[in-house]
Amino acid sequence: MNKWLLYRDSLVQWLIYLAVLAVSTVFVWILIDLVRGGVSHLSWDFLTESPRDAGRSGGIGSILISTLWILMVALIAALPLAWTTAVLLAEFVPAASRFGIAIRFSLQVLAGVPSIVFGLFGNAFFSIYLGMGFSILSGGLTLACMLLPILVSTAEAGLRAVPQSYRLSTAALGMSQTAALVHLLLPAAAPALAAGLLLGIGRAIAETAALIFTSGYVDRTPGSLLDSGRSLALHIYDLSMNVPGGDQPAYASALVLVALLLCINILAMKLSYDLQRRRIIL
């Protein structure tokens, strides 16, 4: 019997290794394909110049600026609301209460809504009703609505994973609930907060459908948040689908997008690790 259990454990272990290898292989395959198709087109001018001739020449400088502005607006709008909601659900609202169940159900429904529906909503509400038009602000606020389920769910899960003994210890020491939350619970949940932030950034940077109807299609450098701007993912889609001869710039743009995501992931993981190590030392 013990021998059979040993064989079963070994089989499960090898299946896990094969799954990890399969995922890594797919990522490496995609990365190699992007490098082969776009690395020869990369240059400093490509990263700093604006597109010309529908993107066949020039670069993606204005596209990168628009993408970063849209991402900045989305995170500034979504993070305070999402993390405040997560704190409310995890620390102040009982899990079995009707209010908590209703909020979580609403977030689950919101997470399942297709991005094109968010785009139509953003166009109707932000662009038309609020008069923002096709703008960076309209696109960023639409993305903020899309990011709320991810940010709230991951942050709440991270706070609920903090051992209850932490809360009891702070109460025994006479710390207020706010002080315990700021100095102990949130730092302890930092990896979950970072994970949610990474997922949110990844979805926001890679979004196309919602931004077609909100931030617009203009490839020039935006002068303000009320100017239209094209995101990098939307630029890649346009080059590959609508521009004859745009394959090489599309590959190069996709390579920049993947590199940007990798840098953001590495930076976030490092910050999360530093927070955890500092908390352990203290």
pLDDT of residue 21: 93
Burial 201-226 (b: 16+ CB within 10 A, else e): bebbbebbbbbbbbbbeebeebeebe
**SS3 annotation, 115-158:** HHHHHHHHHHHHHHHCCCCCCHHHHHHHHHHHHHHHHHHHHHHH
At position 200, the amino acid (one-letter code) is G
Q: Are strands 51-52 and 57-58 parallel, antiparallel or unpaired?
A: antiparallel
Residue 19, classified by CB atoms within 10 Å of its CB into exposed (0-12), middle (13-18) or buried (19+), is: exposed
What confidence score (pLDDT) does residue 173 get?
Answer: 80
Report domain extents, the chain. Answer: 2-41, 44-281
The tokens of 20 are what?
């990890």
**AA identity, residue 73:** V
Please give the average pLDDT of every successive group of 10 residues along the chain, which has 282 residues. 74 90 90 86 87 85 92 92 90 82 87 89 93 92 92 89 83 80 82 83 84 87 89 89 86 89 78 65 53
3-state secondary structure 207-256: CCHHHHCCCCCCCCCCCCCCCCCCCHHHHHHHHHHHCCCCHHHHHHHHHH
Domain 44-281 belongs to what topology? MetI-like fold (1.10.3720)
- pTM comes to 0.85
pLDDT of residue 245: 82
